[in-house]
Amino acid sequence: MRIKGNTFIVTGGGSGLGLSTAQELLRLKANVVVIDLKDDGKSFFKGQEQSVLFVQADVTSEASITKAIQQAIEKFGENIRGVVNCGGILSIGKIVGSNGKPLDLDLFKFTVNVNLVGTFNVCRLVAAQMVKQKPLEEGERGVIINVSSIAYQDGQIGQVSYSASKGGVASMTLPMTRDLSKFGIRVVSIAPGLFETPMASTLNHSKEMKQKLLYPVEYPARAGKSDGEFNKLVIHLIENTYMNGEVIRIDAGTRLGKL
- Of 152, 162, 219, 242, which residue is the catalytic one? 162
Length of the chain: 259
Q: Are 84 and 59 in contact (CB under 8 A)?
A: no
Residues 203, 149: Cα–Cα separation, whole Å: 16
Is 162 part of the annotated catalytic residue set? yes
Residues 235, 30: Cα–Cα separation, whole Å: 11
Return the bridge partners of 143, or none: 82, 186
3-state secondary structure 116-134: HHHHHHHHHHHHHHHCCCC
Residues 222, 202: Cα–Cα separation, whole Å: 18
User: Which of 80, 19, 89 has the alpha carbon at shortest distance from 54?
Assistant: 19
Largest CA distance in the chain: 59
User: Which of 84, 73, 80 has the alpha carbon at shortest distance from 23?
Assistant: 84
Q: Are 245 and 7 in contact (CB under 8 A)?
A: no
Active site residues: 162
